Amino acid sequence: MPVARSGEEAISLAQKTVDLIVVDEWTNYVREAFFQSTIDSFPEVSSRPIKMMASKINLEMFPGASFGDSIEARLTVGKIGRVSFDMIVSFYRKNSGDLFCRTGYAVVFVDSLRNGFAPVPGEILAVIPDYHRRD
């Protein structure tokens, strides 16, 4: 399990410490890398007044990772609505394939000029159904 500390943000799990801020940063990185690699016009999409915001964040931790492990992140999408969708990022140890962390959150779109919800941009809707969670 990666080890990091940031004051009171750290939690203890199975005698290891994980910084919630670091896990959130990993999740954000996976989301941004996904959209940058699947939407050619993502820089233009992200500069529009319609902004993507995360809400309802949850985290599940499982034993099994150690400092220095190589990890792999897998992004899937849950419920897709008019102004939001659920994203799930699962982190696995590369050498064993064991799941050690899963984050989930709703991605909500807001119009920064009108201070209200906005529909999910078409460019994003075009790529997320292929990653829909299969339970």
Per residue in 67-82, pLDDT tens? 677 888 889 998 899 9
Average pLDDT, the chain: 79
* pLDDT tens digits for range 23-62: 778 888 888 899 999 999 999 999 999 999 888 788 887 7
Range 47-75 burial, b when 16+ CB lie within 10 A, else e = eeebebeeeeeeeebeeebeeebeeebeb
Under CATH, domain 7-131 is a member of which superfamily? Answer: Hotdog Thioesterase (3.10.129.10)
pTM of the shown model: 0.73
* pLDDT tens digits for range 119-135: 999 999 999 876 665 54
